[in-house]
A and B are shown apart, each in its own frame.
Chain A
Amino acid sequence: MRPAILLPAFVLPAFVLIGAALLAVPARAQESETPPLVHQHWSFDGVFGTFDNAAAQRGLQVYQQVCSACHSMKQMYYRNLAGIGLNEDQIKAFAAAILVPGPADESGQPTQRPALPSDHFKSPFPNDEAARAANGGALPPDQSVLEKAREGGPDYIYALLNGYSDPPAGMKMQQGMNYNRYFPGNQIAMPQPLHGNDVTYVDGTPSSLEQEAHDVTTFLAFAANPELNERHATGVKAVLFLVFLTGITYALKRKIWADVH
């Protein structure tokens, strides 16, 4: 009889623990020069989260009066604003204030017309080259799905908008770049966009930098996830239904198997 070779009992748990610990390390380590993001309270967090329409509407105002000077939002239609609580007349009025290219006139010359709810958000530049030319060679990214396209999502956008300051002593900045402690590499082409009191809110909310950053981030989160309210509501119903279905299915399984030994 040969002696059985057994590994020490701790080998298995140790391996699994090491594996789990390594997996828990964030897969994409941030550059060391950016501080960790602070989690903000967002109305759309959690399983019951929905967009705070008032905040999103204020954010729309910030986008329209500040961001849209450089950033496009090509996936959005004016009609989508119904998703943050604007009614039909408000959407029509909002769109009508913006001129978009219309059909050619009798002599073939380009014309302009007021935008309709069925129009895409107007882009600030006719093409990427024009956008680069106007921004020192840097292309302002389209903001339609920006919230989903950045690690950290809304917390990152909020932190970035609040992250501008003078560069630390001794840091060599490249021509035309701005210091931002949350931007990878700390040098960002976009000059500080919000300083506080950049807009006068229609609803009278004081427009501090933090308030503006919070509101416009809420709007960007809406633009990237216009289905979120419906998705969360569907999720709650689906989970309740499936928990119930799992329960009765398991009960039936127990009943069917009761006489098996």
Chain B
Amino acid sequence: MAGLHKSDFANPVINWIDTRLPIFTMMQKEYGTFPTPKNFNYFWNFGALAVVALMVMIVTGIFLAMNYTPNVTMAFDSVERIMRDVNYGWLIRYVHMNGASMFFIVVYIHIFRGLYYGSYKTPRELLWMIGVVLLLLMMATAFMGYVLPWGQMSYWGATVITNLFSAIPVVGPGIVTWLWGGFSVDNPTLNRFFSLHYLLPFVIVGVLFLHVAALHITGSNNPLGIDVKSPQDTLPFHPYYTIKDSVGVCVFLLVWAVLVCFVPNYLGHVDNYTPANPMATPADVVPEWYFLPFYAILRSVPNKLGGVSMMFGSILVMFVLPWFDTSPVRSCRFRPIYRQLMWVLVADALLLGAVGAHPPQGIWVVIGRVCTAYYFLHFLVILPFLGKLERPLPLPESISRPVIAGGGGGLPGGAPAKPMEKP
């Protein structure tokens, strides 16, 4: 129904705009008074941190693109020129380079938060699936960005990863040639990766908008995993969560600054400071740390197509997770067995990361296979059965009347703790 919006803002200019385009009312509703569960812990900072990381990456990336040359004969030198001759170029480039790691750290913790507290369960399935799309977009963007400096790892990483598509029967080799724009990773590949590396972050912004829009329909999950029952359970987003997120942002920037200023190359690979050389393969081709678990899964399967399928499957399984977890209880706090298995899964992922960092020899092959098998076992077998076998702890009546004071266990179901509300 068309019609002017009836704005409540007193300021005449804001009121004039808001009447015609109610963005101020929208911001007030979605970020000002938005009712948010009052029991968030600091794990709920990480979504905001990921948004901060994305914004910093886009801003630094735009300035890098002003000075970067996507040509195989000039790319490496143009990055070094940014480091040496562009005003604060070293800062912009190191912030961007380490920003990829910081982005993945916060997103992985954000995903862990979702898994641990059951944020993927109804009614947030679609919100979760959009998040998995965001993860895939991020991975594609990070991979193509890593190719741009055109060092040895850039070149050989691009060669190994694009070659994965050759495992697809019949059309595989054709797809690889099409991706490369030629018969090997070369100038056309670098050009299109640069173009896509610039494009995808804005696609991420668009999908992120859907992620947040879906979140604001369902409302946030919370550490207890129970639904908001009354206004007593919530706080307005501002100032309570704007300030709490700000604390997290400060710590996040502190860690980032330490990486950039004191150990800017700690998370990188030394071989990427050697210009790309198609005639010389590095001793071992290793992806960036954030891809190591997936790389381990890829190499754990003796069959190429199998390995590629398992690697992509390890992320695709996240899409069906909301239906494989049969337990109606969201939060791990009330699922004694799942809580422990959640940490086993974390250890499994860390182990896979270690496997990915080592040449596939000896004990690493065995560990890799066991961990890969367990990863899929967790999602596809354990979760569906556990939901039926496990006896969850009694859930609290509401967020503001927790059944368990101080997080202990074993009280009979439904027994209200001492009333804690102020009169």
Q: Are the chains A and B members of one assembly? A: yes
Say how far B224's CB is from chain A's closest CB, in angstroms: 15
For A250, list chain B residues within 8 Å (CB). 247, 250
Task: Flag whether B261 is at the interface (Cβ < 8 A).
Answer: yes
Judge whether B251 and A246 touch: CB under 8 Å: yes
Contact A16/B90 with A4-B336, A7-B340, A149-B271 known, Cβ cut-off 8 Å: no
Let me know if A1 is at the binding interface, CB within 8 A.
Answer: yes
Write the nearest CB–CB distance from A213 to chain B, whole angstroms.
20
B222 CB to closest chain A CB (Å) equals 14
Q: Does any Cβ of B come within 8 Å of A169's Cβ?
A: no
Contact B270 A151 (CB under 8 A): yes
Chain B residues with Cβ below 8 Å from A253 are 243-244, 246-247
Indicate if A256 sits at the interface (CB-CB under 8 A): yes
A27-B286, A80-B84, A249-B246 given as contacts; is B343 within 8 A of A5 (CB)? no
Residues in A with CB closer than 8 Å to B391 are 1-2, 4
Task: Please encode chain B, from 260 to 298, with 1 for each CB lying within 8 Å of some chain A CB and 0 for all others.
Answer: 111011000011011000000001101000000000000
A80 to B84, CA, bound (A): 9
In the complex, chain B residues whose CB is within 8 Å of the CB of A28: 283-284, 286, 357
- How many interface residues does B have (CB within 8 Å)? 57
State the interface size on chain A (CB cutoff 8 A). Answer: 55
Q: A238-B257, A242-B257, A261-B420 are in contact. Are A12 and B340 (CB under 8 A)?
A: yes
Tell me if A150 and B344 are in contact (CB < 8 A). Answer: no
Given contacts A28-B284, A246-B254, contact A149 B273 (CB under 8 A): yes
B129 at the interface (CB under 8 A from A): no
Select one of A75, A141, A235 contacting B261, CB under 8 A: A235
- Interface residues in A217-241 by Cβ distance below 8 A to B read 224, 226-227, 230-232, 234-236, 238-239
**Cα–Cα, bound, A224→B264 (Å):** 13
Contacting pair B257 A11 (CB below 8 A): no
Alpha-carbon separation in the docked complex, A232 to B260 (Å): 10
Whole-angstrom distance between the Cβ of B353 and the nearest chain A Cβ: 7
A168 interface contact, C-beta 8 A: no
* Residues in B neighbouring A149, C-beta threshold 8 A: 270-271, 273-274
**Cβ contact within 8 Å between A19 and B354:** yes
Q: A residues within 8 A CB of B254?
A: 239, 242-243, 246
Chain A interfacial positions (CB closer than 8 Å to B):
1-2, 4-7, 11-12, 15-16, 18-20, 22-23, 25, 27-29, 47, 74-75, 80, 141, 144-145, 148-151, 184, 224, 226-227, 230-232, 234-236, 238-239, 242-243, 245-246, 249-250, 252-253, 256-257, 259-261
Q: List 30 A-B contacts (CB under 8 A).
A: A2-B389, A5-B389, A7-B341, A15-B348, A16-B346, A18-B347, A19-B350, A19-B351, A19-B354, A22-B350, A27-B354, A27-B357, A28-B284, A47-B262, A149-B274, A151-B270, A226-B84, A231-B91, A232-B261, A235-B257, A235-B260, A238-B261, A239-B254, A242-B257, A249-B243, A250-B247, A253-B244, A253-B247, A260-B235, A261-B421
